[in-house]
Amino acid sequence: MKLLETDLHLHLDGSLTIETVRMLAEQIGYDFEGQGGRESLVAGETCESLVDYLKCFDLPGQLLQTEEALELAAFHLTERLAAQGLILSEIRFAPQLHMRKGLTMERAVEAVIRGINKGTAKFPMKAGVLLCAMVNGPDRENEQTFEIAKAYLGKGVVGVDLAGPEGMIPMGHFDPLFKEADRNCVPFTIHAGECGDYENIIKAVHYGAKRIGHGCAAIKSEACMDLLKKEKITLEMCVISNLQTKAVPSIEEHPLKAFYDRGIRVTYNTDNMTVSDTTLEKEAELIKKHMGFTEADLRQMNRYALEGAFLEKREKEKIIAFFDNNNYNE
């Protein structure tokens, strides 16, 4: 039986299918093929940094400015994930980035939830939405993102995140935001230690983050790694993306296996399926080939992912039981 997999770290705008982009581009009269076509969406081997990587989001940002576009994108992505055999995915996006044509953040969130519900309707896969505040976004819009997450928690939204160019604004600037989320019992993950310092990871854990997006820089600090293990923090690692953004210099130096062997709760994820030209299966094959992971290790990491998911407790218990029954009772 094929391994049941989970993707906790997946950005909607970085995972549009080429067919979806063509369709949406045609609707606004954008010459997709004439403006670079697929190459404008894929980081590829020429990517030199996180800033370079983020340029691939320019076109999706133009296209995802209506309810119809967001719903279609979420529907196509979720249907694709379900067809690949995933049992759980958390899809993240920043509603504040979709207001150029007058769309409100609430309407953007509702559109994505509708698309996800439509995409999972015929499949056993569960999917939730993570709302991203932006490192380089206005404070008030970030606050609104967290307020909307609280309002829609349990109605399709499962938590919040902080994304964007790490290091542009000091992590301490967002202290009030995450304290408020903690008070409101809104689960959160934080992009930290991707291309920034391990101190950002330590701060994120102290804020109350139960998961960390990427977390590569933890390998530079024994104290940081000890903290991650002690607090049972789930690391959402994305190997191909990390190589492209130069978060790590090579596959041999990627810390995923070192973290796993140390007992840190690591998971493998896609980050951006289109920008990184990847799938969860491709990530799994890569880490088996280059890091020596076994099928048993992959099962363990997927179980870590399920345990770290921001699902309601009863729902989580059900999906973990399903996973265990299908992976350990063959």
* CB-based contact 60:21 (threshold 8 Å): yes
311 DSSP β-pair partners = none
156-176 in b/e form (b: 16+ CB < 10 A) is: bbbbbbbbbbbeebebeebee
CA-based radius of gyration for the chain: 18
Torsion of Cα atoms, 102 then 93 then 81 then 48, to 10°: 120
188 DSSP β-pair partners = 160
From residue 282, how far is each of 187, 268, 288, 300, 305 by CA, in Å?
A: 29, 11, 10, 18, 17
Is 194 a residue of the active site? yes
* CB-based contact 178:208 (threshold 8 Å): yes
Contacts of 47 (CB under 8 A, 6+ apart): 53, 244, 245, 246
211 DSSP β-pair partners = 189, 234
> Would you report the helix, strand and coil content of the chain in percent, each value rounded to 5?
55, 15, 30
Task: From 20, 41, 24, select the one nearest 272 (Cα to Cα).
Answer: 41
Q: DSSP letters of 152-172?
A: HBTTTEEEEEEESSTTSS-GG
Question: Annotated catalytic residue: which of 194, 285, 312, 317?
Answer: 194
Identify residue 308 by its one-letter amino acid code: G
* CB-based contact 2:323 (threshold 8 Å): no
Q: Which DSSP letter does residue 89 get?
A: E
Q: Catalytic amino acids?
A: 194
